[in-house]
Amino acid sequence: MRVGPTADVPALRHLYNRLVPELPEVETLVRILRTGSGGAPPLPGRSIRDVTIGWPGHIARPDAAAFQEAIRGRRIHDVQRRGKYLVFPLGDAAMLIHLKMSGDLTVVRTDSPGGRFEHTRFHLEDGWDLRFADARKFGKVFLLDDPSGVLGALGPEPMADGFTARVLRDRLRRHARALKPLLLDQTFIAGLGNIYADETLHRARLHPLRRSDRLSDDEARRLWRGIRAALRQGLRHNGASIDWVYRGGDFQNHFRVYQRTGEPCPVCGTRIRRIVVGQRGTHYCPSCQPERKR
């Protein structure tokens, strides 16, 4: 089911513990929090009465005590996304949350039993909580007068109208890097991670080790199309669910190469290979994605 502004998405559960959620997974969560789901109300328009901080390390800026004092009484005006960050505009400030490897956000009744990993709980008006569960405790929360101090370093949004094939081509030529690590660099493009980088490169028929500055105009356009097609499909399927139950997404049932080592390529039937690029497991088809330009 495609997620839209008024879509009814299954209730959120836990995040798998191996991968950072990427643009489609974070965007799915943003839409759920913005519109409400499973009986929980939308977040925009609700005020934060208080916050319980069980793990001070969650709070990146300011320190936990100052955060707790400053967040009280703030009204959530919207729920947005920038790259892999959830952005909560609060009038003259903004709260940013990065889920990292094991984070999850749910809206539940304040009197609901607490989960083992719910380290940070935002107590909202009318008896609701926004709870940040994080088994590995890598997630981060920021309260900033100017969020550009964190978000300003991010690269362009790959689904934005202004991110054209020409923009991508020009950015590629300013770097002399292998494609896979470059796509994972959040200062180059915001929101891509291991799953969607592998899926993108397969769609673009480009080897993960091809040099960015050596792509032809046609190859750069194929890469641009591959990025947007992979992300659109991920959004249509509410993202991917791997290992743990996560979001109700089923994009994992539509992977072309990711985690399909030894299985046939859906395009040519060649067995998918796995290599390590920049310390990241990388999946590709040796026939569709030759290392040297043909």
Of the candidates 277, 201, 200, 149, the residue with the CA atom closest to the CA atom of residue 24: 200
Is residue 84 part of the annotated active site? The answer reads yes
Site of tokens 């709870």: 131
CA distance 20 to 36: 23
CA distances from 106 to 39, 63, 128, 147, 178 (A): 12, 23, 10, 23, 38
Is residue 293 part of the annotated active site? The answer reads no
Please report, to the nearest 10 degrees, the dihedral formed by the alpha carbons of residues 89, 91, 94, 95 taken in order: -70
Q: Which residues have C-beta within 8 Å of that of residue 66, sequence separation ≥ 6? A: none
Q: What's phi and psi for 170, nearest 5 deg?
A: -65, -35
Between helix 165-173 and helix 217-236 the angle, nearest 10°, is: 120
Given 31, 74, 81, 84, which residue is catalytic? 84
Is residue 75 part of the annotated active site? The answer reads no
Given 21, 24, 158, 181, which residue is catalytic? 21
Q: Which residues have C-beta within 8 Å of that of residue 235, sequence separation ≥ 6? A: 2, 3, 24, 27, 28
Q: What share of the chain is helix, strand, coil (3-state, %, to 5)?
A: 30, 20, 50
CA distance 231 to 175: 23
Instruction: Evaluate whether 87 touches 144 at the Cβ level (below 8 Å).
Output: no
Given 41, 137, 280, 290, which residue is catalytic? 280
SS3 category, 243: coil
Active site residues: 21-22, 84, 280
